[in-house]
Structure 1
């Protein structure tokens, strides 16, 4: 099971692209709202979440995903339950993926110390202790980070390659006419 956390102001492309691609790959993913079932993205698109954060358990997940966007990222960071899920993930060796501004949440908690990571340009100062890279998607340890909206598909395919296989990700790329 994969949980992708949604808060008002999330970046729609980064969240919904990941959900779409993981579901195409038959990976069970749930959109988890931190507040209400209806969550409004940063560009005014309302989304009905699958469940509320109070309805899910950290131990049921293999991966936690944090989409970026503002103020979505800061709304996620301020949420105590999200912080508890991330702590559980780090303590139990679960995958954590964050894109755009969202890696700042991990950096601010010290989770990226000595870990290669990337984020949206200008947010590098929040990646405290990280080895900041400049690629589009980065995998280091149990962390997957990515740059922003334009890298959302690559980010999602990387998640598929980790949770399923590289062959599954390549097959899906061909089916979706994804060109690198």
Structure 2
């Protein structure tokens, strides 16, 4: 992956820890540079389902950076994480910036809620945690129940996955698509 810079967008609280740490490690192992981006400085509180887990230092905020500074975007899940992000115009604009720039995006579990708010799922085939199926269909996406779904739509690639049990497949697909995008 070389010097690929991947933004991991998270809320200040509510990230499903393994959906942050597992893809983060996959990006590192591929030689990429992950950066933790949020809506404010400080630390992000992760969870193991409903139990508090570790905190992670925020590298930069969405107001200090943009899609132009990265090669790809990864959206970890957790129920509270995307729910918070979709209510922040600056976070939604940050996500939309990656689609406008034709850069790859990967989202797992509940993270597609933020994609719905950014209005970038219409006409795409996606997967997610099953409770988002109706929301995604109502937003114009085709929802499938697969471990991982890679949707090529115009200049964009969107990698989606259902849950932590699918992380091996999600990580592999995301890293592959991130590498392809940088190689051109």
**When the two structures are superposed, what TM-score results if normalisation uses the length of structure 2?**
0.83
Q: How many angstroms does 1:41 deviate by? A: 1.2
Of residues 14, 20, 41 in structure 1, which corresponds to 2:19? 14
Paired with 2:117 and 2:65, the residues of 1 have a C-alpha distance of 24
Q: How many angstroms does 1:151 deviate by? A: 1.4
Match of 1:84 in 2: 93
Match of 2:143 in 1: 132
Paired with 1:37 and 1:126, the residues of 2 have a C-alpha distance of 32
Paired with 1:157 and 1:33, the residues of 2 have a C-alpha distance of 24
1:36 aligns with 2:33: no
**Maintained 8 Å contact 1:107/1:129:** no
1:123 aligns with 2:132: yes
Which deviations, in whole Å up to 9, do the C-alpha atoms of 1:103-142 show, x marking residues without a partner?
1221344311121000001111121211111111111021
Question: What secondary structure is seen at the aligned counterpart in 1 of 2:14?
Answer: coil
Gaps in structure 2 of 5+ consecutive residues: none
1:54 aligns with 2:63: yes
Which deviations, in whole Å up to 9, do the C-alpha atoms of 1:55-104 show, x marking residues without a partner?
32321112111111021111111122211112211212111111101112
Of residues 120, 136, 158 in structure 1, which corresponds to 2:173? 158
**Maintained 8 Å contact 2:108/2:160:** yes
Match of 1:149 in 2: 164
Gaps in structure 1 of 5+ consecutive residues: 166-180
CA-atom RMSD in angstroms? 1.6
Paired with 2:66 and 2:114, the residues of 1 have a C-alpha distance of 20
Q: How many angstroms does 1:38 deviate by? A: 0.8
Paired with 1:98 and 1:61, the residues of 2 have a C-alpha distance of 16
Paired with 2:144 and 2:125, the residues of 1 have a C-alpha distance of 6
